[in-house]
Structure 1
Amino acid sequence: MSVSTSAPDKGIAVVTVDYPPVNALPVQGWYDLADAVRAAGRDPETRCVVLAAEGRGFNAGVDIKEMQRDTGHTALIGANRGCYAAFSAVYECEVPVVAAVHGFCLGGGIGLVGNADAIVASEDATFGLPELDRGALGAATHLARLVPQHLMRALYYTSRTATAADLHAHGSVWQVVPRAELRQAAMELAGEIARKDGTLLRFAKAAINGIDPVDVHRSYRFEQGFTFEANLSGLADRIRDDFGQQGTQGEGRA
């Protein structure tokens, strides 16, 4: 289980998440991811970061089992802060971030790709927030950056997923490719970006964030407050327990 960084091409840093079996990250994993993305962006030789994953899917969100093992709220607070740190690291990365998404991108995965600068996805990629089925709330802030407002609400309330083709039609996914070609496609886009002047790219990233109509930090933090309230009331535990008994549920599509 790890978060690793490599530099396969000049100007490009690839941050890869590998937490078998489904890339559901524990608290420390979110912090490690945040540190890796920030370090890659600070490197003066880096002009673009590719965020990728190994295994069955890109990201399955928070490790629910870690929270279920915790008799208090330490794991919940850690997950809230860890996700906030990782999402912020992607958004605030000094250079553009390209997300290479395959398989499932759920929960916290939406927070990562919603804050990325560009998304390349494989044909089997699906995107969604099953939060209401897991006793949680959050990342509607980031889903709203991927799909129109009313579709975001319908996906959120139903816990359904959207395909890579759906998001490509809405303009939030740059390219959809066969899974075997995903890494190459992401590297090609990152390479095109990395050929620009490094200093000017950093200016561009800061300028685009500065004109963003939504404060992603504040809006996501607002959502997290309701997640904590659901946990304090005991509601979240009851839903998570029910989910654990039912096993993995099928995913719908938008």
Structure 2
Amino acid sequence: MSGEPPVLVHRAHGIARVVLNRPDVRNALNLPMCLALRAAFEDLDADAEVRVVLLTGNGPAFCAGADLKERKGRDETWVRHRRLASFAAYEAVERCSKPVVALVHGPVIGSGGEIAMSCDFIVAADTTTFRFPEPHWGTVGATQRLQRVIGKRRAKELLFTNRVMPVPEAEGQGLVARIVPAEDLAAHGEEIAATIAKASPLALALTKQAVDLGEGTDLSRGTRIEMAAIERCLADGDWRTGIEKFGQANTQERIWN
């Protein structure tokens, strides 16, 4: 697989599929993958035809963390550059205006968790496990997104102990939105993507933006953020299409009932 790009991108019918593609090393994150992931999501963000993005991993694992082998013989300047590249990759995923769904399976370790948490939500195979071993690898990582997802004390416990978190626990703590049988993960992801793609692109983008902006403020300011998004929808006029769809759905329901 060494001749293939570290990140694959496929587009069809408004759905983009981004695939981490270093299966021989369980998709360990290296510098080329960081750069490719960032470029892929910046490109998808600018593609008006793309309605939703599925992020998956090729091979037996979603992502087994950072590829520490690439750091052998490197100096502090290189490692610093590499870490900044990973932050930029996570941010590109997070900043994408399209809904981004992570489909994870197998071990999700360190940087793999950062990538998954940068998505809007995570759907996990029942074979998935999570682990955040950074302090045990002599480094620091996952200190910001993890605590925002599962809380400060739970994040500390995982980071300090390097224990494996089974997927039912991850779901219970809000890290995972849904658990599905491993053999159904791809099909389930396609179904979710097709459902999301039916919604108004503007309304989806504004909903995502309003939720993300509202996370860091109080309810009063959050309501103003939502009202600004509503005004944008009203100005665009696409809301009328939604009203028509609602009326058609109700008519069809009455016919069947």
Q: Give the TM bin, normalised by the shorter chain.
A: 0.7 to 0.9
**Residue-by-residue CA offset, 1:100-152 (whole Å, 9 max, x unaligned):** 00011111111111121111000111112110111110112122233233221
The answer (yes or no) to whether the contact 1:62–1:79 under 8 Å persists in 2 is: no
Q: Give secondary structure in 1 for the equivalent of 2:98.
A: coil
Match of 2:62 among 52, 58, 63: 58
> Equivalent residue for 1:141?
144
**Residue-by-residue CA offset, 1:4-32 (whole Å, 9 max, x unaligned):** 11124x22101001112211121121110
Q: Give secondary structure in 1 for the equivalent of 2:160.
A: helix
Task: Name the CA distance, whole Å, in 2 between partners of 1:68 and 1:212.
Answer: 39
Task: Name the CA distance, whole Å, in 2 between partners of 1:43 and 1:65.
Answer: 35
Task: Name the CA distance, whole Å, in 2 between partners of 1:38 and 1:181.
Answer: 29
The answer (yes or no) to whether the contact 1:16–1:53 under 8 Å persists in 2 is: yes
**Residue-by-residue CA offset, 1:70-109 (whole Å, 9 max, x unaligned):** 2x12431232111111110111001111000001111111
TM-score with structure 2 setting the length: 0.78
Task: Name the CA distance, whole Å, in 2 between partners of 1:181 and 1:63.
Answer: 29
Task: Name the CA distance, whole Å, in 2 between partners of 1:146 and 1:123.
Answer: 20
> Equivalent residue for 2:82?
79
Task: Name the CA distance, whole Å, in 1 between partners of 2:193 and 2:175.
Answer: 16
Task: Name the CA distance, whole Å, in 1 between partners of 2:201 and 2:8.
Answer: 23
> Equivalent residue for 2:28?
24
- The amino acid that maps onto 2:89 is A
Match of 2:173 among 170, 173, 189: 170
Task: Name the CA distance, whole Å, in 1 between partners of 2:143 and 2:190.
Answer: 28
Match of 2:127 among 121, 124, 129: 124
Q: Give secondary structure in 2 for the equivalent of 1:144.
A: helix
> Equivalent residue for 1:209?
212
Match of 1:3 among 4, 7, 11: 7
Higher Cα radius of gyration: 2
- The amino acid that maps onto 2:149 is L
- The amino acid that maps onto 1:32 is A
> Equivalent residue for 2:104?
101
| Range with bigger deviation, 73-82 or 89-98 | 73-82
Q: Which has the higher helix share?
A: 2
**Residue-by-residue CA offset, 1:172-195 (whole Å, 9 max, x unaligned):** 312111211111112211221111
Cα distance 1:28–1:78, how it changes in 2: closer, same or farther (>3 A)? Answer: farther
Structure 1 segments unaligned to the other structure (5+ residues): 215-254
Q: RMSD across aligned C-alpha pairs, in angstroms?
A: 1.6
Task: Name the CA distance, whole Å, in 2 between partners of 1:64 and 1:3.
Answer: 19
Matched, 1:110 2:113: yes
TM-score with structure 1 setting the length: 0.79
Count of residues paired in the alignment: 212
4+ long deviations beyond 6 Å: none
> Equivalent residue for 1:222?
none
| Range with bigger deviation, 143-152 or 108-117 | 143-152
Task: Name the CA distance, whole Å, in 1 between partners of 2:135 and 2:175.
Answer: 24
Match of 2:53 among 49, 52, 56: 49
% of aligned pairs identical? 31
The structure showing larger relative contact order (alpha-carbon pairs under 8 Å, at least 6 residues apart) is 1
| Range with bigger deviation, 135-144 or 163-172 | 163-172
